[in-house]
Structure 1
Amino acid sequence: MAKKKWADLTSGQRKAMIALGTVEVALAGAAYIDLIRRPADQVNGSKGKWAAIIAINIVGPITYFTRGRKAPLGA
């Protein structure tokens, strides 16, 4: 099966791809901003490791938000 080109996609498929891409970029941006602003002692593991994990498609930022941050004290 040959790879589809952008021109071969229906308008609905194009809109879905744009929406998914937008969500992915927004999540990654938010995760990187949080990682930069968060003190190292509030991150599970090294910041370098989490920066690399965030770069993994949509799964990386979600993983960072669910497992990479430590809960604030008293929460």
Structure 2
Amino acid sequence: MAQIKSANTQRELLDAINGLRQDNKGLSDRMDAGFLTMRQEFGTVHKWMWSFFVAVIIASCAVVGLVTNLFG
């Protein structure tokens, strides 16, 4: 009787450990997907940042040219 109870307890522990491993794998997969999305979003923001920087340079040149023509 004690051996059966011990075997059942051992089996329950193994089932619990396997369940935790599966939960951990699922969490890891979700985290990987989240990091991938974050990297993609950062890449998009980074591209927009460079586009904005170039637009500011062009606008600055236009303003300097306009001011030079008006007052030069």
TM-score (structure 2 length as normaliser): 0.40
| Structure number with bigger Rg | 2
TM-score (structure 1 length as normaliser): 0.38
Higher RCO (CA < 8 A, seq sep 6+):
1
Of Structure 1 and Structure 2, the greater helix share is in: 2
